[in-house]
Amino acid sequence: MNWYIAKVIFKISNGNSGAKSQFDEHLRLIQARSFEEALLKARVLGLTEEDHFINSNDQTVDWEFVNVSELLPLHEITDGLELYSRVHETEEAHDYVRYVHQKAASLQAEQTLAV
């Protein structure tokens, strides 16, 4: 069996036509005998996780599976293996760096609370 990382994309809509479109990107670990089987498993996973519900504002929220946009084989799982990377571009580098530090601090705070 082989391991793959699949990027599974969902479209989130709540009936508010004026809102920006939202897409949720999931990175999923898939075990399969072949690339084709992994792609099929990732697509089935996306379809089974489609959902619709009423939120706290009485709006119907739909999670619609779009597709699997990436499927990468993992040849070997080792400590520190890069699973995914993406270049983030911004006009406000200082704000982005501050955001990253705030997220890191909240991780430490969550760990402290959990202990």
pLDDT tens per residue across span 23-79: 999 999 999 999 999 999 999 999 999 999 988 888 888 999 999 999 999 988 889
Extents of the domains making up the chain? 2-76
Q: 26: buried, middle or exposed (CB in 10 Å: 19+, 13-18, 0-12)? A: middle
Report pTM: 0.72
- Positive or negative CA dihedral for 56, 48, 65, 4? positive
Percentages of the chain per state (helix, strand, coil), in multiples of 5:
30, 35, 30
* SS3 state at 104: helix
Amino acid identity, residue 99?
Y
Contact 30, 4 (CB under 8 A): yes
